[in-house]
């Protein structure tokens, strides 16, 4: 696979502030890559440099084979960017906004109309294309924003918090759309988001950036194995009945490293498989086992661990 986005030593300084610090990053063709970090970590600064909207202090970047600093227009022809709050002309309809963008990209009128009809159907706004955007909900505007970046048929999508402020159903529809586009058209997606469970659902790999420095890079399961070597077995256990003293006895089982109370049970982090001893203990106490489920480290666990260490 070839790299669609690649940076080497990419650095951005604002006087004494280092916003991005020696960033080495590689995003492969067709990959959905999650770019994670707290506010002020350097995510947006990195995105602006990739788009040629900000010049790096040192280092370099290549997007679709072009240097964004030297060939920003070539990069913009191939990359669709959806900011956190996409802007539209509220007095124009959704279709008219898309047509305006198509004209800016010098797409022939007939072809532009064909693409707009197809995109409006694809994003679920086929019956709303003639409505003024001021009448759109936030979710509709987010979907229109995705259509806007797709009008020019880009090779790469860069999405900054695409589901922020949406209800669960609206967020799920946006994520399904992004995954479908990547799968069907081979689009490369760089996704910046704070919603870690969504990133874990859809991204092939993630990178975690803190204070401008990339501190972790890889698949979620690989990152989890790297930082939780001593916690290779995680279990959620729920029981029915009077569980007096069960928590303290669970803590005393050889191999249990940590235990967290949950609403109807406990979450155990263990250095070995303790299920046989756990089942025996529950049976001896005359309790009914409602659930015993193995759980891998979540992206939230991984993110917090790396963030706190950084």
Boundary residue ending a domain (174, 195, 218)? 218
Are 108 and 210 in a shared domain?
A: yes
Are residues 213 and 247 located together in one domain of the fold? no
Last residue of a domain, one of 173, 191, 218: 218
Burial 128-159 (b: 16+ CB within 10 A, else e): bbeebbeebeebbbbbbbbbbbbbbebbbbbb
pLDDT at 200: 80
pLDDT at position 264 is: 78
Spatial separation of the C-alpha atoms in residues 231 and 297, rounded to whole Å: 9
Does 51 have pLDDT greater than 70? yes
With a CB cutoff of 8 Å and minimum separation 6, the contacts of 281 are 246, 249, 250, 253
Instruction: Name which of 141-150, 175-184, 229-238 the model is least confident about.
Output: 229-238
pLDDT band at 22 (very low <50, low <70, confident <90, very high): very high
Is residue 169 pLDDT above 90, yes or no? Answer: no
Q: In the predicted model, is pLDDT for residue 26 greater than 60?
A: yes
Average pLDDT of the chain is 88
Residue 239's beta-bridge partner residues?
Answer: 289
**How many domains, the chain?**
2
Q: Is 286 left (phi over 0), alpha (psi -120 to 50) or beta?
A: left
| Count of Cβ atoms closer than 10 Å to residue 100 Cβ | 16
What pLDDT was estimated at residue 115? 95
Does position 96 have pLDDT exceeding 90, yes or no?
A: yes
Render pLDDT for 197-246 as a digit per residue (tens, 0 to 9): 778 878 889 999 999 999 889 887 777 666 655 546 788 899 988 888 89
* pTM (two decimals): 0.76
Q: Which residue has the higher pLDDT, 242 or 69?
A: 69
SS (H, E, C) the chain: CCEEEEEEEEEEEECCEEEEEEEEEEEECCCEEEEECCCCCCHHHHHHHHCCCCCCCEEEEEECCECCCCCHHHHHHHEEEECCCCCCCCCCEHHHHHHHHHHHCCCCHHHHHHHHHHHHHHCCCCCCCCCEHHHCCHHHHHHHHHHHHHCCCCCEEEEECCCCCCCHHHHHHHHHHHHHHHHHHCCEEEEECCCHHHHHHHCCEEEEEECCEEEEEECHHHHHHHHCCCCCEEEEEEEECCCCCHHHHHHCCCCEEEEEECCCEEEEEECCCCHHHHHHHHHHCCCEEEEEEECCCCHHHHHHHHHHHC
* Together in a domain, 67 and 171: yes
Rg of the chain over CA atoms, in angstroms?
24
pLDDT mean over 190-203: 81
Q: Does 223 map to a domain?
A: no
Same domain, yes or no: 70 and 207: yes
The confidence score (pLDDT) of residue 155 equals 93
CA distance 237 to 231: 16
- Highest mean pLDDT out of 41-45, 66-70, 222-226, 228-232: 66-70
Q: Tell me which of 98-107, 215-224, 285-294 is least confident.
A: 215-224
- Quote the domain boundaries for residue 20: 3-218
Per-residue pLDDT band for 291 (boundaries 50, 70, 90) equals: confident
The residue ranking higher by pLDDT, 83 or 167, is 83
pLDDT of residue 1: 56
Residue 304 and residue 232 in one domain: yes
Question: Do 251 and 199 have their domain in common?
Answer: no
Overall residue count recorded for the chain in this entry: 310
Of residues 293, 285, 284, 307, the one with CA closest to residue 264:
293
Give the pLDDT confidence score for residue 233 in this predicted structure.
Answer: 78
Q: Are 106 and 13 found together in one domain?
A: yes
Instruction: Verify that 208 and 256 share a domain, yes or no.
Output: no
282 in the same domain as 149 = no
Domain boundary among 178, 199, 218: 218
Confidence of residue 271 (pLDDT cuts 50, 70, 90): confident
Q: Rounded mean pLDDT of 293-300?
A: 73
Is the pLDDT assigned to residue 187 strictly greater than 80? Answer: yes
Sorted by sequence, the CB contacts under 8 Å of residue 260 that are 6+ apart come out as 266, 267
Pair 45, 194 in one domain? yes
Q: Are residues 299 and 179 in the same domain?
A: no
Q: How far apart are CA 2 and CA 127, in angstroms?
A: 39
End-to-end Cα separation, the chain, in angstroms: 31
On whether residue 11 sits in a domain, the answer given is yes
User: What CATH number corresponds to the domain at position 86?
Assistant: 3.40.50.300
Look at residue 299 in the predicted model and tell me its pLDDT.
Answer: 76
């Amino acid at each position: 696979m070839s790299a669609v986005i690649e940076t080497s030593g990419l650095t951005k300084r604002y006087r004494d502030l280092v916003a991005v610090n020696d960033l080495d990053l590689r995003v492969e063709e067709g990959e959905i890559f999650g770019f994670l970090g707290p506010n002020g970590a350097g995510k947006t600064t990195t995105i602006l440099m990739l788009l040629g909207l900000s010049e790096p202090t040192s280092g370099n970047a290549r997007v679709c084979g072009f240097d964004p600093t030297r060939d920003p227009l070539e990069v913009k022809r191939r990359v669709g960017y959806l900011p956190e709050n996409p802007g539209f002309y509220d007095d124009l309809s959704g279709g008219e906004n898309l047509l305006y963008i198509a004209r800016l990209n010098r797409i022939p009128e007939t072809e532009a109309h064909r693409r707009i009809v197809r995109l409006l159907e694809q994003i679920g706004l086929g019956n709303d294309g003639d409505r003024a955007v001021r009448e759109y909900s936030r979710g509709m505007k987010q979907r229109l924003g995705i259509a806007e970046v797709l009008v020019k048929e880009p090779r790469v999508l860069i999405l900054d918090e695409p589901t922020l402020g949406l209800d669960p159903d609206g967020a799920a529809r946006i994520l399904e759309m992004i995954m479908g586009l990547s799968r069907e058209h081979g689009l490369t997606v760089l996704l910046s988001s704070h919603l870690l469970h969504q990133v874990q659902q859809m991204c092939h790999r993630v990178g975690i950036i803190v204070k401008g420095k990339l501190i972790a890079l890889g698949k979620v399961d690989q990152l989890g194995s790297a930082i939780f070597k001593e916690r290779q077995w995680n279990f959620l256990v729920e029981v029915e009945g009077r569980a007096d003293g069960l928590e303290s006895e669970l803590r005393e089982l050889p191999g249990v490293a940590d235990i967290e109370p949950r609403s109807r049970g406990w979450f155990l982090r263990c250095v070995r498989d303790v299920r046989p001893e756990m089942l025996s203990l529950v049976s001896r106490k005359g309790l009914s086992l409602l659930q015993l489920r193995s759980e891998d480290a979540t992206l939230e666990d991984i993110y917090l661990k790396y963030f706190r260490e950084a």
